[in-house]
Structure 1
Amino acid sequence: MFRSISKKASYVALLLTTACLSTTYAQQRFSVGPRVGLNLSTLRGEVTGYKLSPGLAAGAFVMYSSLNHFGISADVLYSQRGGRFPSTTNGITTTEFTQRINYLEIPVALRYFLTRSGNFRPNVFFGPSLAIPLSAQRVRQKLNNVDQPNTDNSSTFKNLDLGLLAGLQLNFPGFGARQRFLIDARYTFGLADITVPYTPVNVVPGANGTQNIYNSTITVTLGYGFGVGREHPSRYNR
């Protein structure tokens, strides 16, 4: 009788251990959620005088991770880029404005997870970023320290921007099961000239000759991921 009870107890313990391991090492393959944060952007190329300017980055993401180190993600973001331009003469600021370019940005990132499973899965990533301009304005304009009205200059910029991004993402357990906080830091290097051919009416202040001007953007966001679909046990921890 004692052997029978012992055998049953061992069987129950084995079941409980298997269940615990399955819960511990189950891996979420798909997740979705919101993302919001800060852009620090400027203009580079054949242009001088532009400083970093803050802007909003906000939207949503979907992410897939395989049962090993690799994954892929795609975002849809409202992304404010541009740069701050102070012009000085004899050490005195005479003209000042912030060039704001509002984009619908779609970055796609290939990700390499540094751990195969667990509650903390940091990853590095890189990939292309496609951005469609929605509008452009010069805001916070001053002339000889006198405030000026905002000016729409959307016609100065092309209908598409292409960039290359790279970055690091950290993630931590969220409030519920299959939920995670995501801290994402990335740099997007503009590959395409964002301005239309030069004419006297669409000149970009600070441009040196022809307007070969590119975006340069640092982005830091906080996201919150919700697991969707079924979880999969990691084949490395069975």
Structure 2
Amino acid sequence: MRPIQKYYLMLLGIASLILCCPAVPLRAQSSESGERGYFDGSKPFYAGLVAGLNVSTVQRDNFSGYHQPGLNAGATVYWHFAAPLAFSIDLLFSQKGAKGVNTANSPYAGTYYEKYTMRLNYLEVPLLLHYIVSPKWQFGAGASYNALISAKETYETIYPVYIDPDRFPFQKYEIDLVASGSMKLYKGLMLQVRYQYSVTPVRKAWDVPQGLGIGNQLNNMFVFRLAYLF
């Protein structure tokens, strides 16, 4: 079985487990402010919009650090199917990649800077199971399916280096594991922080340009975003 097929089956299994979970009656809870309507048992479904920032790096390149910012924006749907549990699915435009600067030396040019940028644009679909601590706080975990829309890679040493995208391709699809925390700020407005790490390669070892990394490359990022639920 190919690796990508195994992750399809994993996502299907997570969804099946949630759908088959015994339905615990939702019971209204009161928040500290006395507000009702958001994860307090008063309704099972919420839809909303999300927008925020990815701060990303790529493991096993030659440039460390979370230096590549990117957009994380789209729509989300929650199903609050049991008193402490909710299931969410997002449809996102998500920008990932890497950026770095190294100092190098040449006997001919002296000290110079190596500058590298990788920009990966994805259509992303995260599937998460959330534990509702209270109408204000929740924590979640799950997986995210990413389909590559476009990729751009630049590298400069003493002079610009052309990286042929056909010779050094990125994978068209990849899967992340996701951990999430959310805090309600006001009514339907939530602050969300996520951590994501690839479990399938962004680019396989034999497709990495010489001098720009060793081994399979993996996305690694933090997400800081706002969500507004209706």
Question: Out of 206, 209, 212, which is 1:203 matched to?
Answer: 209
Q: What is the identity percentage for the equivalent residue pairs of Structure 1 and Structure 2? A: 25
Q: Is the 8 A contact 2:205 2:217 kept in 1?
A: no
- State the Cα deviation string for residues 138-162 of structure 1 (Å, max 9, x = none): 25x5444x7x599773752011111
For 1:21-32, list aligned pairs within 5 A: 27-32=42-47
- C-alpha spacing 1:106/1:205, structure 2 compared with 1 (3 Å): farther
| Unpaired segments ≥5 residues, structure 1 | 1-20, 175-179, 227-238
Question: Between Structure 1 and Structure 2, how many residues are aligned?
Answer: 189
- Partner secondary structure for residue 62 of structure 2: coil
Paired AA for residue 121 in structure 2: N
Alignment partner for residue 196 of structure 2, among 181, 188, 201?
A: 188
SS at match of 1:194: coil
Whole-angstrom distance in 1 between the partners of 2:55 and 2:43: 32
AA at the equivalent of 1:63: Y
| Shift in CA distance, 78/123, structure 1 to aligned 2, threshold 3 Å | same
* Larger RCO (CA under 8 A, 6+ residues apart): 1
User: For 1:204 and 1:194, how far apart are their aligned partners in 2?
Assistant: 16
TM-score normalized by structure 2? 0.72
Distance 1:137 1:84 in 2: 12
Q: For residues 143 and 197 of structure 1, do their structure 2 counterparts lie closer, same or farther at Cα, with a shift above 3 Å needed?
A: closer
What is the root-mean-square deviation in Å for CA atoms of aligned residues?
Answer: 2.7
Structure 2: stretches of 5+ with no match in the other structure:
1-33
Query: What TM-score results when the alignment is normalised by the length of structure 1?
Result: 0.70
1:60 is aligned, of 60, 64, 75, to 75
Q: Which whole-Å deviations, capped at 9, do the CAs of 1:57-90 have from their partners, x for residues lacking one?
A: 1111001113411011010111100111323214
In structure 2, the partner of 1:87 is 102
Structure of larger gyration radius: 1
Residue by residue over 1:199-225, the C-alpha shift from the partner in whole angstroms, topping out at 9 and shown as x without a partner, is 5xx5164312xx311000100110110
Amino acid in structure 1 at the alignment position of 2:72: A
